[in-house]
Structure 1
């Protein structure tokens, strides 16, 4: 799923005398890669650019521990969409902070300041210039329907990684069918297949996501995340509600993914809904009906529900 993309490349990019500034809710692959690099790690509060600036200013002023020498490299790492929160990264604001503190890749110099971002989806949604992100990571699972992950960056960076990254040097090459699946998916997304299917799918996933999120909120569920995000965590909180919610949904032929400790804090258990462009409106309405019934049964509707539901195609949508 691209786990090794982060965990194997960070130790190649960073090392002793370097500083990694990481969002507090970054994926475990980033956490393990940072720990394995030997670099100093500092964490800023999740998706709060003002706290990132505080950490960045303090670390630049103090320098390395004990010696207070300037850092060899500083790298800020965030995600585009936080997979357990469903939130879009505040990418424009974070990039503005990085630029304020001379966020540039200096060719031929060891000391530089770098910025990385995983998940290109948020870059497209937030209209961020790719030139403002030094290194981009993404997964070929999920929407691509294949396996593995990728790193995008300057020619110098990619060439360096090809010659030094153990995951590239010693790992087995991706299989031809998986590679062709990725190529075909990219062609569809870009419209190189001669159709507008890619644009239609991108529009459809946003439409589906926003419809599903708004209906869940109207029912009284606590749903995390932002509009346009296809990841929707429904908060369960009590660990005892996890098997009850999952099993009751399955009784009605709806399979849900529940997430608990250690992937989340002990008392912040949730069900993670991931919306696809392939979901029809009938699929979504059926799932909403089941989730609503189970939510009443298990007792996870933490807000008052709206009495009237959204109208679709001239007919009232009723979930009971």
Structure 2
């Protein structure tokens, strides 16, 4: 399949992608201020229309001098450049949806006069809980009956569960029961193979099973679906654009191989620049970058605490935190999720009683919490924890894997969202796999702390250092969020890992990145260098998150989490409804890919679907999700929430009002 390409004189002949994007940005700005012949403002198309597999493969311009061609892949559209507001859309933008309607923006903020909303669990009707428990009971009884007779009559199928030829069983019968009897039946929902960029849409590799989902065969076809299942919060996971161009240039300059261990001379100028930019971004003195997000926690925590230390951990903390605490040898106590009263009671007991048996004072007390909890969608009550920290003098470790880049007016995480000085937090941890479209993670804190971690953290001393292409993606995406100073770029990079804290801003957040901190070969368009594109993405993400969360509640669903969180869990309760919901969403005219989660990742009776919003989504995309949820919710009986309900059409019409409601 081929596509035509017709360019305007003003856009043709550009020597680089950066110049072309700059011209597009200029035309977009002009389009927002078009004045008609009668003096009235001419409205331009506000958003990319809803996804349509049967849509045309060309953009149609509203004027003769602006037409942009589009690449076509498997009959689905992949625009080669971001479109402008001047275009009348007849197709969709697959990686990042265009939206010029300023009403579909929201600046997230926290009202200090209001308490932080806690984790509220709304119970469904009793018959839902009763049938959920009954379903698990039937699953266990029938499953064990099948196992008993299966071992007698079909021993070949159960060989891995029984001793054979002098060897012990490969798997434990009891431990693998849940996997065999429930997870395997949902493998078509849990293990969907994908290809390409996980942007606004995602491409699935179609497959079928002929043996009850035990094995699959690829059909050779693909399905492009609306993607509400990826942590691509700011939409930087794109195959085109300034970040992708910078990564391509870094591959040409540095190659594709990793750099080796940091302790063996694997530090490049890009490592120094990235660490300085991260420290500047989060408002700390120094930062350390690791090549794996999970290891950022699991390898750092043992370097911070050990025997004789106490770790106080939220009960819903991530597995990487639990693993790191276990490796450290420190004592650990859990407190109820986001329950500040339970936390203070635990602190008082721990400080007064000291270490077990000896009752000696603890060498160190470290509180570990997450900024945004990925399964619940809840935010950390940071103001209350900072008050407790001032009172009880413990150390505070905040995991911002999901909140960095996704929360706050500047995208700097929970401290930015609650307007709290970042130096109030001793250790800030985050990952680049979500908002920044890269990989790995970071630890930020005081210069003395990070210097010690460079020596003691196994993730720094023994692991492979981050590849140049990934570092470039981090530097480029960070620069897009913060903006770059207008001074002339320089090839000089920061010569030290330490970034001096600012004394002018009480939150220690510096402004745009100095051009001298970026490699001279990274080219960004004017809208990206100014930080305007980053601000727009943050506000679009906030609008999408609040709109979906509030709309689902008005439709009658039970949801968890904070309204400003880009993760929106919708409760399904019954384990059998996980597969039904996921399959029905994928079978719609416009397929939608969702993530369903059940036990043991969640409590037994709180199976859920977890929507992950992105700045790449448009309002029409969220409307598609609401349409699907409304129909499927009625079909499989999911609307058990309390409170006022609105009709779907009223929700769509009053979307802006719904988002701005407190």
For normalisation by structure 1, the TM-score amounts to: 0.92
Counting helix residues as a fraction of each chain, which structure ranks higher?
1
Alignment of 1:98-177 (within 5 A): 98-101=389-392, 103=393, 113-119=394-400, 120=404, 121-177=413-469
Q: Residues 75-131 of structure 1, C-alpha deviation per residue, up to 9 Å, x if partnerless?
A: 011111111110111001011011111x2xxxxxxxxx3111111422221112101
8 Å contact from structure 1 (residues 19, 74) kept in 2 = yes
The offset of 1:48, in angstroms, is: 1.3
The offset of 1:312, in angstroms, is: 3.4
- The residue number in structure 1 matching 2:474 is 182
- The residue number in structure 1 matching 2:613 is 275
- The residue number in structure 1 matching 2:265 is none
* CA–CA separation in structure 1 for the residues paired with 2:621 and 2:421: 36
Alignment of 1:265 with 2:621, yes or no, is: no
8 Å contact from structure 2 (residues 479, 531) kept in 1 = no
* CA–CA separation in structure 1 for the residues paired with 2:641 and 2:334: 33
* CA–CA separation in structure 2 for the residues paired with 1:2 and 1:241: 32
Q: Is the alpha carbon distance of 1:155 and 1:315 closer, same or farther for their aligned partners in structure 2, counting shifts above 3 Å?
A: closer
Alignment of 1:201 with 2:509, yes or no, is: no
Q: Residues 276-299 of structure 1, C-alpha deviation per residue, up to 9 Å, x if partnerless?
A: 111011111111111221122221
The offset of 1:215, in angstroms, is: 0.9
Alignment of 1:246 with 2:582, yes or no, is: yes
Q: Is the alpha carbon distance of 1:313 and 1:83 closer, same or farther for their aligned partners in structure 2, counting shifts above 3 Å?
A: closer
- The residue number in structure 2 matching 1:312 is 653
Q: Residues 218-237 of structure 1, C-alpha deviation per residue, up to 9 Å, x if partnerless?
A: 11111101111111000111
* CA–CA separation in structure 2 for the residues paired with 1:226 and 1:184: 29
- The residue number in structure 2 matching 1:107 is none
* CA–CA separation in structure 2 for the residues paired with 1:316 and 1:67: 59
- The residue number in structure 1 matching 2:624 is 286
8 Å contact from structure 1 (residues 145, 181) kept in 2 = yes
* CA–CA separation in structure 1 for the residues paired with 2:655 and 2:307: 63
- The residue number in structure 1 matching 2:388 is 97
Which fold has the larger relative contact order, with Cα–Cα distance below 8 Å and residues 6 or more apart in sequence?
Answer: 2
- The residue number in structure 2 matching 1:303 is 641
8 Å contact from structure 1 (residues 310, 316) kept in 2 = no
The offset of 1:151, in angstroms, is: 0.4
The offset of 1:67, in angstroms, is: 0.7
* CA–CA separation in structure 1 for the residues paired with 2:656 and 2:318: 42
* CA–CA separation in structure 1 for the residues paired with 2:439 and 2:561: 26
* CA–CA separation in structure 1 for the residues paired with 2:419 and 2:657: 35
Q: CA RMSD in A?
A: 1.9
8 Å contact from structure 1 (residues 188, 195) kept in 2 = yes
* CA–CA separation in structure 2 for the residues paired with 1:266 and 1:57: 32
Q: Residues 194-252 of structure 1, C-alpha deviation per residue, up to 9 Å, x if partnerless?
A: 24111111111111111111111111111101111111000111111111111111111
Q: Which residue of 349, 362, 365 corresponds with 1:71?
A: 362
- The residue number in structure 2 matching 1:85 is 376
Aligned residues: 307
The offset of 1:136, in angstroms, is: 0.3
* CA–CA separation in structure 2 for the residues paired with 1:22 and 1:316: 38
Unaligned runs of at least 5 residues, structure 1: 104-112
- The residue number in structure 2 matching 1:223 is 559
8 Å contact from structure 1 (residues 191, 199) kept in 2 = no
For normalisation by structure 2, the TM-score amounts to: 0.45
- The residue number in structure 1 matching 2:298 is 7
The offset of 1:133, in angstroms, is: 0.2
Larger radius of gyration: 2
Unaligned runs of at least 5 residues, structure 2: 1-291, 405-412, 485-528
